[in-house]
């Protein structure tokens, strides 16, 4: 997703195999822990390349296809990290805020051609989430148990939760949803700070 030429080839391969593309989801993402004082140019380049430029390249190469065939949908996986100042997540939060903005900008730039929707996950049980537990005084299991109790639905999200939402947003059933993201966080952002 970080290579414009590779993304162009991906789109062309999909067209050759299926003769059209109705929907695509930019779901690749990377995370790096750290405060601004820890940030390196390499970390910034990696996060912005994958989390921001990947979706940009996909939109760049899908827009002409969608225009020619009469429309299509692009989904972009963002994160609640775009809206919450998670400690030691400065570059990740910044990259996901940029991805949130892409959803709105691409929807207006390609109005009538490409419907653009975002999936904004919260705490999802993935290897990336497990990696965020490194360095704490508690085990991953203890951290997860604590987090489950803080989420109003009392569980971590599962990848299938995101897959179900993606299937809906990319379908014709969601045809009037455009330029916005659906938050899938079990109610986390509804919580007061106390």
The residues annotated with a catalytic role in the active site are: 92
CA distance 137 to 153: 26
Find residue 184's DSSP bridge partners.
Answer: 121
Residue written as tokens 């390249």? 57
CB contact at 8 A, 169 and 119: yes
Alpha helices in 3-139 (DSSP H): 4-18, 41-48, 54-69, 90-109, 127-131
CA distance 178 to 49: 24
Instruction: Count, in order, helices (H) and strands (E) of the chain.
Output: 7, 4
CB contact at 8 A, 53 and 100: no
> CA quadruple 48, 54, 55, 57: dihedral positive or negative?
positive
């Amino acid at each position: 997703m970080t290579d414009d030429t590779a993304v162009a080839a991906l789109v062309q391969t999909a067209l050759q195999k299926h003769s059209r593309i109705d929907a695509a989801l930019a779901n690749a993402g990377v995370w790096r822990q750290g405060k601004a004082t820890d940030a390196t140019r390499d970390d910034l380049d990696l996060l912005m390349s994958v989390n921001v430029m990947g979706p940009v390249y996909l939109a760049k190469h899908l827009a002409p296809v969608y225009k020619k065939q009469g429309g299509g949908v692009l989904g972009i996986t963002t994160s609640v990290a775009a809206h919450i100042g998670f400690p030691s997540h400065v570059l990740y939060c910044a990259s996901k805020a940029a991805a949130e903005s892409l959803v709105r900008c691409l929807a207006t730039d390609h109005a009538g051609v490409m419907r653009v929707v975002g999936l904004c996950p919260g705490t999802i049980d993935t290897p990336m989430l497990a990696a965020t537990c490194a360095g704490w005084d508690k085990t991953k299991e203890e951290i997860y148990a604590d987090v489950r109790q803080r989420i109003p639905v009392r569980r971590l999200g599962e990848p299938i939760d995101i897959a179900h939402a993606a299937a809906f947003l990319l379908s014709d059933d969601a045809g009037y949803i455009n330029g916005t993201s659906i938050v899938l966080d079990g109610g986390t952002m509804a919580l007061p700070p106390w």
